[in-house]
Structure 1
């Protein structure tokens, strides 16, 4: 009887802990999201920072230089996306005119084979979240909400780079803090775990960055030769979405189909898009990933899907993008701490530990 009460007590406490943990993560997103991005980017830029320090450049100057470099790269990325979005806006009337007959046929098919009606679609469209274009009764309030969202994004964007500078510049201070959490006899073991975890995580993140760059170039060539409109924008988005296992590739392929085959109806374009994504995914999965990323942080496919879903529920698209790098870092730490190794085995593929 006492054992049953203890199990009930621990189960209840676990459920309460998980509930408040999830609620806290959702509530703290404005603070935790830029900090999490900064931690991941700090690990990515740390080898460059150490290289500059070996050139007799002071730590503060090296940290500032590496942070400014990644800031310039992000600005270049946003500039590229902005130009492609502008081209999309300019071409939108032509794209809309081409797609209208196909959308009408799709609606007819949906009305004929599903219980949906035109009123359901009209109601969904009128409640759309697109600023200024929805049928709300207070456009001024929506404009202010949109402006606040933009200002919040840029505030978090700049704050992320401030975090990166301090994390890289004062990394020794944070490392000593972690070491002081453990007794002296475990200092060497903890030092080894910190060093090994950081090294493996950097290799993983750098490998994923290389794969994103490869997919961007490959998709741009393939989709450009296939005649897809705004192929650079579609290629960049599809490459970044490859961080989301399974679902990201499907979304990227769907974008290419929308801006390619659906706007032209050319069957050769359909073949070109399909071949581009098939060959790109084959090269990434079976040739580049084993050599560039390796098997140091391979995660179990089922756990990967669960983590991505949880990331989406917590922080939306950003949560989906951060889910894999974060769980990869957690998995590396778990596999290098003896008492927690069973949890690392749970997250890893079968027989990885063996």
Structure 2
């Protein structure tokens, strides 16, 4: 087949795949989330099976552990929110004080007086209320979809664990027998990467909440644990989440305090904790087994958010990692693995013809230069 025809088929395949994903995002998002969580539950399931637990009981206990952990997280978050609601009169008072100070600053540095500012707010209030109504109606639909999403998750996880051997056989039957060893390597590598990534995120949320919330609590910031918890979860979304976490942290601090110094304390603490997380803690926990470059990460997060909202943003990175593993193992699609990866050559392919080659030797050499470790099956 001519190479131009093959590339045209690849592009068309990507287009139709993206179209299917956009149309079926409500169905695919919980299935993908269940797939990743079921792989994370495999060690626990195998532990119970090792001690001769019946298969259904081993799956049920593993699922129950997951539900208990999820329930504890929801309870803890709800408790922190209830404490924030109790402080609503103080928050309202602080917000009015800050708004008055802002209005006075605007009056000093612009031709608009306080009365003119109030008139502008009144004229714009009807449009704001209409926007709020539309937002709340959309939020109601979002809450309904979240409940459906959460309700389907345990069902899908149970079925994936129960039918795991059937699903594996389905995958192997797609390929000729001479490729089964390579397919098995890809599946094992995917399992190691997904487990490492998801367990790393669970540990990351825990220590980010304790570290950030604890430091802010010692400094004397109100609702320190809530700020730490929100930032820890938003930080799971690459790049975008950290920005949102900073904004929410500042808004909570601004609303809870009549002074400005706590804002700088929160921003400084977040910056220090994030530096420790990015450069010391997270690399040691997750390791450097798969590296996704920043461009692919940002584009993937934005596309995932456009397709499936918060769930899509969270799922984007493990999906890209899985696709990279598959592409790296395929000689035909290796260029896509290069596009996603961070195996950056020091030399230009324009000057070094060896870097234009798809060979396994060149690929391994670039991984070695960029200190990317191969995954191990015993992890």
Shorter-chain TM-score tier: 0.7 to 0.9
Task: Show the counterpart of 1:232.
Answer: 225
Counting only pairs closer than 5 Å after superposition, residues 106-185 of structure 1 correspond to structure 2 as 106=102, 109=106, 112=110, 118=121, 121-129=124-132, 150-185=143-178
1:92 to 83, 88, 95: 88
Q: Distance in 2 between matches of 1:104 and 1:24?
A: 51
> Unaligned regions of 5+ residues in structure 2, if any?
346-365, 369-379
Bigger shift: residues 105-114 or 322-331: 105-114
**5+ residue gaps, structure 1:** 135-141
Selected match of 1:61 from 47, 57, 75: 57
Structure 2 equivalent of residue 139 of structure 1: none
The 3-state SS of whatever aligns with 2:332 is helix
Residue 329 of structure 1, aligned match among 315, 322, 332: 322
Give the Cα separation in 1 of the matches to 2:169 and 2:322.
19
Residue in 2 that maps onto 1:77: 73
> Does the alignment pair 1:273 with 2:276?
no
Q: What TM-score, normalized to structure 1?
A: 0.84
- Residues 244-269 of structure 1: CA distance to partner in whole angstroms, max 9, x if unpaired? 22221122122221122453243542
Residues 95, 254 of structure 2: 8 Å contact kept = no
Q: CA shift at 1:147, angstroms?
A: 6.3
Match among 301, 305, 317 for residue 308 of structure 1: 301
What is the CA deviation profile of residues 284-315 of structure 1, one whole-angstrom value per residue up to 9, with x for unaligned ones? 11111221111112210111111111112112
Partners of 2:18 and 2:128 in 1: how far apart? 31
SS at match of 1:260: helix
Contact kept in structure 1, 2:92 and 2:255, CA below 8 Å? no
Q: Tell me the CA shift for residue 92 of structure 1.
A: 2.1
The farther-off stretch of 184-193 and 25-34 is: 25-34
Query: Post-superposition shift, 1:342?
Result: 2.4
TM-align CA RMSD? 3.1
1:353 aligns with 2:367: yes
Partner SS, residue 338 of structure 1:
coil
Contact 2:98–2:258, Cα closer than 8 Å, also in 1 = no
8 A contact 1:241–1:321 mirrored in 2: no
* Preserved CA contact (<8 Å) 2:94 2:258: no
Q: Is the CA contact 2:246–2:270 (under 8 Å) kept in the aligned structure 1?
A: yes
Decide whether the 8 Å contact of 1:228 with 1:256 is kept in 2: no
Counterparts of 2:298 and 2:63, CA distance in 1: 32
Contact 2:26 2:308 in 1 (8 A): no
Query: Distance in 1 between the 2:199 and 2:209 partners?
Result: 15
Q: Separation in 2 of the partners of 1:305 and 1:72?
A: 33
Determine whether 1:295 maps to 2:278: no
Change (3 A) 1:23 1:189: closer
Give aligned pairs, total: 336
Q: Tell me if 1:48 matches 2:51.
A: no
Describe the shift of the 1:106–1:174 C-alpha distance in structure 2 as closer, same or farther (beyond 3 A): farther
